C-alpha cells in the first residue's frame, strides 16, 4: 500500500532523509564528550548513552540516561526509546521518529543541552 501511495522515488527519498538525520545526530553525539555511541549506527538508528566516567558510576549513568530520555521526550521535539545492553541503559534515536512540526535537526539534538540548565 505504501508503495502505491508514495511510489519508489518518494520512499527512497524518505529513507535517505531518515539516514541523513541519523548520521547528523551521530556526529553531534560523537563530538560531545559526555556521551558515547555504543554500537555502530544502523540505517537511521543511533544507540548512545551518557558515559560513566570519573565520579559518575555506571548506575548513576543509567539513571541519568533514564532522566534524559524522560526530559527529551517531554519536549515533544523528538521521541527517544531505550534498550538494555550488557545490563546498561542505552538511548535510541531513530531519524524517522523526529516530531514533524518544523524543528531543525540541531534543535532536536539541542534539547539535551536545555535539560542541563
pTM for this model (two decimals): 0.78
- Residue 76: predicted pLDDT: 83
Q: Using one digit for the tens of pLDDT, what is the confidence trace for 28-44?
A: 999 999 999 999 999 99
Q: What is the DSSP string of 33-85?
A: TTEEEEEEEETTEEEEEEPP-TT--HHHHHHHHHHHHHHHHHHSS---EEEEE
Structural domain boundaries, residue 16 = 2-114
- Residue 90: predicted pLDDT: 97
Instruction: Give the mean pLDDT of 77-82.
Output: 87
CATH of the domain at 22: 3.90.1150.170
Q: How many domains does the chain have?
A: 1
Amino acid at each position: 500500500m505504501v508503495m502505491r501511495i508514495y511510489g519508489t522515488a518518494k520512499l527512497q527519498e524518505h529513507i535517505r532523509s531518515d539516514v541523513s538525520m541519523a548520521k547528523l545526530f551521530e556526529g553531534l553525539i560523537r563530538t560531545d564528550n559526555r556521551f558515547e555511541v555504543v554500537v555502530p549506527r544502523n540505517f537511521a538508528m543511533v544507540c548512545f548513552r551518557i558515559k560513566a566516567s570519573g565520579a559518575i558510576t555506571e548506575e548513576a549513568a543509567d539513571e541519568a540516561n533514564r532522566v534524559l530520555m524522560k526530559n527529551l521526550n517531554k519536549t515533544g521535539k523528538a521521541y527517544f526509546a531505550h534498550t538494555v545492553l550488557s545490563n546498561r541503559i542505552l538511548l535510541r534515536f531513530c531519524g524517522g521518529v523526529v516530531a514533524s512540526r518544523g524543528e531543525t535537526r540541531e534543535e532536536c539534538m539541542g534539547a539535551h543541552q536545555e535539560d542541563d540548565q
